[in-house]
Amino acid sequence: MKRLKWIVITIITLIVALFFQYSLPKHDIVQIVGTDVKRMDVDSGSWRWAAQDSGTNVTNTRDVRFINAARPNGKPRVYRNEDTNWGWPPYFKFDSGDLNAEAQAYAKQDDFWVSVTYYGWRITFLSIFPNAVGMKPVSGPDATIIPWFNIVFLTLLTALAVYIFLKIRQFKRKRVDPVLEDVGEAWDSVEDTASEAKDSAVGWWKKLLKWIRR
C-alpha cells in the first residue's frame, strides 16, 4: 500500500508539473524571418489549438497564422499565432493580427533580435506548435530574460500548497486521529466482549454435555 501510495503521488505530481509547464509563459531569443498563413482543419476544442480570431464565425476549417524564426544557433523555430480569447490558458489574447504585423516588421530588419513570449510545446511528429502571445526587442542573442511571473507564481503556489498540507495535518491530528483511536479502543472492547461471550458459551455447552451424559 505504501508503494502504491507513492506511485499515485508521483503520477499526480507529474501531471500537475506537465500542466504548468505547458501553460506558464516561456521565452525564446530569436530572429524573426517571416510569417505564414495556412488553411487548416482544426479539431474543435482540441488542446493543440487555441481560438480563431475574435469576432469570426466558428468553423473547423480556418486560417492559422504562423511566425517563423531562427534561434541563435541557426535552428528554426515556428510559432502559431492564435487568439486565446477568454479560454485557457488565461492570456486574454485578442491581437493575433497585430502581433503578425509586428513580426513582419521585425523580419525586415537585419540582425534584429526579439524575445518571444509563448506557451505550449513544439512536437514535430504531431504537428504541435507553441502559441506566441507577445514579443519585444532585445539587445542581442545573449540577452537574459528573467521569468519573474513564473518565479512569483510558483513561489505563491508552493506556499499555498504547504499551508494547505499543514492545515490538513493539523486537522488530522486534532479531529481524525482521536476518532480513530476511539474506534480502535471500541473495536478492542468489542473483541474482548466477544471473546468473553465465546468462552462463556463454550463453558455452558460443556456443562450441558456433561449433564446429558449423566
pTM as predicted = 0.76
Cell of 14: 507529474
Q: Which of 122, 128, 41 is nearest to 75 (CA)?
A: 122
Angstrom CA distances, 95 to 65, 110, 141, stand at 12, 25, 26
Q: What is the pLDDT along the chain (214 residues), one digit of tens a residue?
A: 778 888 998 999 999 999 999 999 999 999 999 999 998 887 766 777 787 766 666 667 888 999 999 999 999 999 999 999 888 889 999 999 999 999 999 999 999 999 999 999 999 998 899 999 999 999 999 999 999 999 999 999 999 999 998 988 888 888 777 777 766 666 666 666 666 656 565 566 666 666 676 6
Cis peptide before 89 (omega within 30 of 0): yes
pLDDT at 173: 83
Cβ within 8 Å of residue 24, ≥6 positions away: 119, 149, 150, 153
**pLDDT given for residue 48 in this prediction:** 74
pLDDT value of residue 120: 95
